[in-house]
Structures are given as structure tokens and as C-alpha cells.
Structure 1
């Protein structure tokens, strides 16, 4: 049986994601695979290329033929050169910058916020408008009544 190492397309329209699989040469692109040996995501920046090097070397050793795109990916990871006995490439894969730790970012923001002086608003707040005026008038009207009740209780 002729075996190929090829890409199996997954993902959505205009957002491809590939698995690097070992499959019979006669199967269709997304058909049944013998084994999945890696993944490739061209939409990430930089592109994600993960290959199980040990399994790739095994399948190349038993005669599996990579398709052209897979061969390029194997060249990027250095697996093709290792199989052919050539010197490994100088880190051709671009590595994504590590994302900063969320806890460290939070602590830095907290320290920056506590070190800054608290600044009051440039314009004073309004007192509440018409509702506040009505509430003040009703409070003034209730106070004389309360005073009369208190005087009536003393007499």
C-alpha cells in the first residue's frame, strides 16, 4: 500500500486549519487517516507548525512520501533534513512572543493606580436638579409639624 503524509483540511471557510496525517495515497483529502502526526495553522501570526518528530521520522523511514506542502513544513521543522542526513536549518520557525502573565499585569496596573494621586473632577457634581428641590421643600414643610407635635406633648 502506498502511504502519503498529507494535509487534512479542517476549520471554517476562509479560516483553514490543517492536520498533518499519514494516509493511504488513494484516500481523499479529508478521508480516513492512519495516524495524525502534527498540525498546521497558517492563520496565526506566526504560523503554527507542530510535528511529532519521532513519528514523522518513523513514517519517512518506512517509505511514506510527503506531499509538497508537507515537505516544506518538514523542512521548516528540520525533520526532512534529519531524514536526509543534511545539517539542520538555523531556527527557520518564527516563535510567537510569550504572552505576559495576567496576574503580573494586574499587579502592575494596581501599583500604578495606587501611586497616582487621586484627582477630583474638574467641575462639581450637580445637586440632583428638580427632584432634590422638591425633597428639600417637603422636608422643610414636615419640620414645623414635627415641632408642633413635640410642643403639644409637653403641654
Structure 2
């Protein structure tokens, strides 16, 4: 063997050694990322671990032991009941109640607008009826009371239907 073969072999061995060291660093980073994701109760997926560790998913796939650790961690996370902290649970309930309150406020505003429109229509019709009517004042009042009674019944029915749809 000549000197150039020995040099090449040494360089090759050095490259191999460097690659193994780099791979071991990536493995350690992957294990640390996996531990952090588990500690933070975040989803443990190949993509999440790879991103957190700064490695590629291809790197993970080439290491069956890492893939198994990731799958086991995700299965453990999925099968472990996650109890919400009391504060977190309260926050979720409050947020849901606020959303419901906002929805009800919107429905109330809509009904208020509809009510004003109906009141305007009634006022206009009453004015037209009174101005051009041949009826006496008591007869006109009686007709108006009947119309208002029908309108109230119709509005009550609509409100009940709306209430039934909301529940």
C-alpha cells in the first residue's frame, strides 16, 4: 500500500466518524424534542418532533427506534385522560357562555329591528285608516284593537317558533 491509499482510508474513516457523531447529535436532539413535546402535552407526531429537533422526517424514518418512541409517546398521550386545570375549565365555560350571550344579543337586536318596523307599519296603517275611514270613532277603535290583537298573536307565535329553533 502506498501513502495515498492510507491517506484516503484515513479521510474516509474520518468522514464516517463525523457522520456518526452528527447522527448521534441529531438522535439526542430528537429525544430531547420528544421529551419536551410530552412535557408540554402537545401532539407527538413525526413532523412535530422533526421540526422541534431540527431534523428531517426522513432522518426519523431511518431510525426505527426513534419512530417507535414517537409512536409510543403519541399513543400514551392519546390514551391518557387529560384533566383540564380548574382555571382552564372555567375559562372554557366562560368563553362558551360569552359566545352564547353574544348570539342572544344579536337575536334580540334583530327582533328589536323587526318590532320597530312592524310598529311603523301599524302607525302608517292606522293613519290611513283614520284619515279615509267612513267608520265612526268607536268602530274605528274596535277595528284597530282587533288588528293589534291579531298582530300580537302572530308575533307571539313567531317568538315561540324562534325559541324552539334556538333550543
TM category (shorter chain) comes to: under 0.3
More strand by share: 1
Relative contact order higher in (CA < 8 Å, ≥ 6 apart) = 1
**Structure ID, larger Rg:** 2
In the superposition, the TM-score normalised over structure 2's length comes to 0.23
In the superposition, the TM-score normalised over structure 1's length comes to 0.24
